[in-house]
Structure 1
Amino acid sequence: MMLELVDVHGGYGRTEILHGVSLSVPVGGAVAVIGHNGAGKTTLLRAAVGLLNVTSGKVLLDGEDVTAMAPHQRVRRGLGYVPQGQQSFGQMTTLENLQLVAGRDRAAIDEMLDLFPALTSLLQRRAGLLSGGQRQQLAIARTLLTKPRMLVLDEPTEGIQPNVVAEIEQVIIDLTRRGDLSVLLVEQHVGFAMRASQTYSVLVSGRVTSTGEAGAGAADEVRAVMAV
């Protein structure tokens, strides 16, 4: 497995948000975590990437116990994280945002522009002037420039237009088909999650209540579980 969370408990102060969560992401696979607001999805990702100390349980990355490691140490071991909110350096141009990671490696930047062609005509535009969907594409591209083997995405479709959702979905599918990138995707958009992943877990009040194989046929089942 590329990423494993084993009986993870954690939260903020005395408030426990995660109550024994276990899930795993296989090498080259995509797993979606689905749940309503307040279910603990972002807290789960923060525990996975090292931004939240777990009170008990383990986080394994490519078989190595990284539970006590800082986020930058996990990044060096192949973890990439795209947080919620289309984050970018707003006063810098699109190109400058990419160069922060790629430096003078224009080939690497061109590879990202092949994945997200909409950014090609926006290289000299300040990131703060991009649409939400364009900023999300930039955030994902910048993270992919670190060459992660494990990509963690927090609500990549939140607040962005449907055509960009489709483009991001296709990028995730194409990258996982290569077999060298694993994806953990937190999402409320059930249809997107079912198309972009192979398996899913439903998170309710900090607990995994349902898991299964993703796909169009599973969407109604997942919606029914979430409605309970």
Structure 2
Amino acid sequence: MLVAEGLQTYYGESHILEGVSFDIREGEVVALVGRNGVGKTTTLRSILQLTPPRAGSIRYQGEELIGQRPHEVTERGIGWIPEERRIFSDLTVEENLRIASVDTEHALHTAYETFPDLERFAQRKAGTLSGGQQQMLAIARALVGDNDLLLVDEPSEGLAPQIVAAVAESIAATEQTVLLVEQNLPLAFDLADRFYALDNGQIVESGTTDDNSADDALRGYLSS
């Protein structure tokens, strides 16, 4: 579905991604893991062309994304759940969900079935929700959108365990292909089929998440 090759991405003169390559197959969940500041979010921003790579290639369903505008990328079916959530704070929960899909009634039904708390707060402004509820809304909005590939950035960050469980369940249940950025290694390995590990802007490990030796090696790498 998506193939990235040799990505070279900068912030100003700071070289963040140094030849990153990976692929995502249709229907799978791929985890991108690593410590803070190694280039995980930059990888997502590179795909979306929010921080366009200076070199390399990103092909989505055979079409080159580099050189396109961010809105053109999303129009091709790539959704994004940023770490900052970026909900519409002055709109109600229901309004946030309605603008995410052309089939609004189906969107509401799916969102409320996935996160029952959202139905209780349907008429509240999104900005008044707790952090966990806002994360639920951000994920629900992406899940009901017309996306084939979903980029999810640190969905468990700062959330209570019961909310993390609900968020994880929603990602596991989606039929969309997912690229998941997550520092919580047990959660990432529970959800993902395969993983790539980033360090200093380069892929240093990759494999399947059912490989116990890879799990042990990554735990040591992430804690070092």
Same fold per superposition (TM over 0.5): yes
The match for 2:200 is: 205
* Local SS of the residue matching 1:37: coil
Give, in angstroms, the shift of residue 76 of structure 1.
Answer: 1.3
The match for 1:159 is: 158
Equivalent residues, number = 223
Amino acid at match of 1:22: S
Amino acid at match of 1:207: Q
Give, in angstroms, the shift of residue 227 of structure 1.
Answer: 3.4
1:146, 1:207 → 2: CA distance? 31
Equivalent pair of 1:81/1:153 in contact (CA under 8 Å): yes
* Local SS of the residue matching 1:102: coil
Equivalent pair of 2:97/2:107 in contact (CA under 8 Å): no
Amino acid at match of 1:30: V
Root-mean-square deviation (CA, aligned residues, Å) is 1.6
1:119, 1:219 → 2: CA distance? 35
Give, in angstroms, the shift of residue 103 of structure 1.
Answer: 6.0
- 1:119 equivalenced with 2:115 (yes/no): no
The match for 2:136 is: 137
Give, in angstroms, the shift of residue 104 of structure 1.
Answer: 7.1
Identity of aligned residues (%): 35
Amino acid at match of 2:22: L
Give, in angstroms, the shift of residue 36 of structure 1.
Answer: 0.8
The match for 1:227 is: 223
Amino acid at match of 2:204: T
The match for 1:71 is: 70
Equivalent pair of 1:202/1:226 in contact (CA under 8 Å): no
- Structure 1, gaps ≥5 residues long: none
Give 1:32-51 correspondences, 5 Å limit: 32-51=31-50
The match for 2:54 is: 55
2:123, 2:210 → 1: CA distance? 39
* Local SS of the residue matching 2:51: coil
